[in-house]
Amino acid sequence: MDKGTILVIEDEPNIADLVDLYLSRDGYRVVKQATGEGGLAAVRDQRPRLVVLDVGLPDIDGLEVCRRIRATSSLPVIFLTARAEEIDRVLGLELGADDYLTKPFAPAELVARVKAVLRRTDGAPVAEMVPAGRAVVDVGRREVRVDDQPVDFTTKEFELLRFLATRRGLAMSRQQILDHVWGHDWYGDERTVDVHIAQVRKKLGDACVITTVRGVGYRLESSTP
């Protein structure tokens, strides 16, 4: 019985093992990481359904880990906090945590919370957020944000940026862009792409670099300027 992967980022082996034991017994596949960096790598590589995240970690703290997860996805996060002031920080920072538990906690309670959060978030697929330099293409909300501020994009501009951002670092021809953003049955000029690129560049300013690739088309650079 495989109910998907739960990532547990916790540096205290006793707690991590206990959580592992209970969640595994309930049919989840559990991946354990003892550091924030290791945890972030596992978010990318293991595609968990949910993250159980300790606030006090040896390298980067859990709040920062959550912030980085939230920069690219709406993956559910349950915090484990050790002290009251940690709860205040978790709640005060509005990181979008889905729940939290204070140590010491009963493992059965954690399993119940995991199930409740998954029930709540199930069916709502993890929203895709595609980074584009300092901008983020929030596919779920159909919104582009620069430094957390929404920028007004038309539908075509949004689809254009989304297309390039999901292929960042790769040169895309005007025809490929037209086919994907405007559709194969669209009879128009390739200059349409140039006009929209100009608009997108203007709206993003220096937040994101879209390079003109001579004789080809455009490439969204993967590095932040």
Residues that bind Ca ion (CB under 5 A): 11, 54, 56
C-beta of 215: minimal distance to Ca ion in Å?
A: 54
Q: Are 136 and 150 in contact (CB under 8 A)?
A: no
By Cβ distance, which residue is nearest to Ca ion?
56
C-beta of 51: minimal distance to Ca ion in Å?
A: 15
In the complex with Ca ion, the residue whose CB is nearer, 60 or 209, is: 60
In the complex with Ca ion, the residue whose CB is nearer, 14 or 155, is: 14
Q: Six-digit token pair at 164?
A: 């390039």
Q: Are 22 and 10 in contact (CB under 8 A)?
A: no
Distance CA 111, CA 46 (A): 20
Distance CA 34, CA 117 (A): 23
3-state secondary structure of 18: helix
Distance CA 40, CA 68 (A): 8
In the complex with Ca ion, the residue whose CB is nearer, 13 or 225, is: 13
Write the single-letter amino acid at 17: D
C-beta of 78: minimal distance to Ca ion in Å?
A: 15
C-beta of 34: minimal distance to Ca ion in Å?
A: 9
Residues written for the chain: 225
In the complex with Ca ion, the residue whose CB is nearer, 56 or 131, is: 56
C-beta of 54: minimal distance to Ca ion in Å?
A: 4
In the complex with Ca ion, the residue whose CB is nearer, 52 or 129, is: 52
Which strands form 129-132's sheet, in the order they lie side by side?
129-132, 135-138, 143-146, 149-151
In the complex with Ca ion, the residue whose CB is nearer, 12 or 179, is: 12
C-beta of 56: minimal distance to Ca ion in Å?
A: 4
In the complex with Ca ion, the residue whose CB is nearer, 11 or 98, is: 11
Residue among 58, 156, 21 at smallest CA distance from 8? 21
DSSP assignment string, 162-192: HHHHTTTTSEEEHHHHIIIII-TT----THH
C-beta of 42: minimal distance to Ca ion in Å?
A: 17
